[in-house]
A and B are shown apart, each in its own frame.
Chain A
Amino acid sequence: MKINQISLFLENKPGHLNAICRTLAEAKINIVTLSLADTQQFGIVRLIVEEWLKAKEVLEKAGYVVNVREVVAAAVADKPGGMAEILDIIGTTGVNIEYMYAFAFRHGKEAVLVFRFDNPDRAIEALKAAGRDVLDAVTLFNEAK
């Protein structure tokens, strides 16, 4: 029930982010979502793409440092309080969120929350026990279209 996310090292300079998108575009890889964490000097680009293995290959071939990480994706209704409910569940487990980001899903009716947890299995267990929709790769990529 985990999704493979690829992340890249990015220097904080004009044009660097576009170069990554260009590389993926040329390989005909669609970016489902992209999130950016940055400091003054560098950033980390995190990408969810269906063909993550191919994306990793083309990016590494283009000279990028790429890392693959399993993340947890949970779908919630796109309405006030949707995210808070999920965070309440996580809060009871004592699991720490290393980072998270969100994107619109199922034609904007829902949102996907992408998490990196310090203990993903425990978080997944708690979310499922609470009846939440933890997405596998097939569901995520089919229904993101």
Chain B
Amino acid sequence: MNAKPIIENRIWQPEFECLPRPRLLALQAERLRGAVARASKNPFYKERFERLGVTPEKIRSADDVRRLPFTTKADLRDHYPLGFLVVPRSEVARYQGTSGTTGKPTWTAYTKNDVDNWCNLCARFLVSGGLRPEHTVQISFGFGLFTGGFGLHYGIERVGAAIIPLSSGNSARQLMCMQDLRPEVLICTPSYALKLMDDILNGGIDRSSIAIEHAHFGGEPWTEDMRTRIESGLKIRCWNNYGLAEVQGCGVSGECAYRNGMHVQEDQFIIETIDPDTLEPLPDGEKGELVITPLCREAFPVIRYRTRDIGYLYNDGFCPCGRTTRRMSRILGRTDDMLIIRGVNVFPSQIEAALMPFESVAPHYMIEVSRPAALDEVTVHIEMQPGMFSDSMKEMQAIRDKIAASIQSVTGLHMNIDLVSPNSLERFEGKSRRVTDHRKLVD
């Protein structure tokens, strides 16, 4: 464990982040009772709680979370669009979303209080990672359903810093903004930071014309190796944070000045690690699937959400920063086939949905992901089918463009389309492996 901070150690809400452990656990138990009471308004949970004999009064400690049922992305999909909403629509202040496993997004909703809480949770990791009220922040996350854009926007506003809501893409414009408005803080995906770094270092841009000191990364897994490259290349500090829309969005956990892993905001989330096969809880220190129960959400409570993200909780005691919260590792992988491409979650089943309009049976396909330079590139190899073939080159190219457009409309991403001969792609026994990922996303 690092015993010294890398930057000044600052804490946004010490009254929660540094609560003595017994009081933190008591607060978790109390809040879990509230979460169970709110979730009971959803028939999905009501029925399950009754079957398990769970009532809010029976929750005595935070550990009682283990008596509660799990929730999966499939459960959210089965209750599309807003089956988990437990407040009247009139009380919803915001909707956000994330990729669904098929063509439709997974929606989530926030009351005014939920948004307010979320602001503070984002402010916590921003402040611990160097953000000050006098700073200017360039947000190069896409603004939209993705929780990163608006989540951080309001978190930064809460801290009192100035925001440049530039959104993603167009690196020439990103660099112009960095040089002209001289923001001190950059928010983007780590792979986009690599791309900007390449443009700066190879584009003859004078480093002193750029004032960036800190960058906060999220939206996709990254490695210590990437951190070292970006920090030494740009002479900045890069900070890691974690979250997912299903349990709120960014701000579930984030690094502190000591950089000993990401502090989980345990006053608002109960985090567990489970064996994804047996579903049994694992002790801290052991790698498994992260399961998160948000404790304060009013609009869209979920219980024991199975994130499918693989990581572990540190078991080496408490961080010297003064926080009493446990810390989690970087995300080390997935238990399902979800891919994160340029910060966007993509499921192979979405590609299948996008190919359906062209054939009654979706053709065999393979997804190949690479990172030739800084940014991810995806090629979808698709086996030709009679319904996709024409003797005219013009029509063939039109079909290829249509397939690309269909994939883009479902996933939001441009992918290269490679049409190949029937039966030329490898077949796998049992669980099909449709993805070849050449990126190195884990140290």
Contact = CB atoms under 8 A, between A and B. Distances in A.
B418 interface: yes
Contact of B418 (A16, A41, A64, A98): A41
A9 to B, nearest CB: 5
Interface string B101-132: 00000000000000000000000000000000
Contact of A116 (B389, B392, B421): B392
Interface in A106-138: 116
Q: 7 nearest interchain CB pairs?
A: A7-B391, A9-B384, A65-B389, A65-B384, A11-B421, A37-B393, A69-B391
Q: How many B residues are at the interface, by size bracket?
A: 10 to 19
A9 B393 contact: no
Given A9-B419, A9-B421, A41-B419, A65 B386 contact: yes
B51 interface: no
18 contacts: A7-B389, A9-B421, A11-B420, A11-B424, A39-B397, A42-B396, A42-B420, A44-B390, A46-B391, A64-B421, A65-B389, A66-B386, A67-B386, A67-B389, A67-B390, A67-B391, A98-B394, A99-B393
Nearest to B391: A7
A42 B390 contact: no
B166 to A, nearest CB: 35
A115 to B, nearest CB: 12
Contacts of A99: 392-393
B419 A42 contact: yes
Given A37-B393, A99-B393, 14 more contacts: A9-B384, A9-B389, A10-B421, A11-B419, A44-B396, A63-B421, A64-B421, A65-B384, A65-B388, A65-B421, A65-B422, A66-B386, A67-B390, A98-B394
Contacts of B432: none
Contacts of B386: 65-67
A34 to B, nearest CB: 13
B396 A65 contact: no
Contacts of A11: 419-421, 424
Contacts, number: 51
B52 to A, nearest CB: 53
Contacts of B394: 98
Interface string A24-52: 00000000000001010110101000000
Interface string A41-85: 110101000000000000000011111010000000000000000
Interface centre among A5, A16, A64, A116 (most CB of B within 10 A): A64
Contacts of B392: 44, 98-99, 116
Contacts of B202: none
Interface in B287-307: none
Contacts of B389: 7, 9, 65, 67
Interface string B396-434: 110000000000000000000011111110000000000
A63 B391 contact: no
B421 to A, nearest CB: 5
Nearest to B390: A67
Contacts of A9: 384, 389, 419, 421
B168 interface: no
B385 interface: yes
Given A11-B420, A44-B396, A65-B422, A116 B385 contact: no
A39 B419 CA distance: 11
Contacts of A67: 386, 389-391
Nearest to B394: A98
Contact of A44 (B393, B418, B420, B422): B393
A23 to B, nearest CB: 13
B393 A39 contact: yes
Contacts of B396: 42, 44
Interface in B238-291: none
A64 B422 contact: yes
Nearest to A9: B384
A3 to B, nearest CB: 13
A137 to B, nearest CB: 18
Nearest to B417: A41
A7 B390 CA distance: 8
Interface centre among B391, B396, B421, B422 (most CB of A within 10 A): B391
Nearest to B383: A65
Contacts of A16: 421
Interface in B7-50: none
A99 B420 CA distance: 23
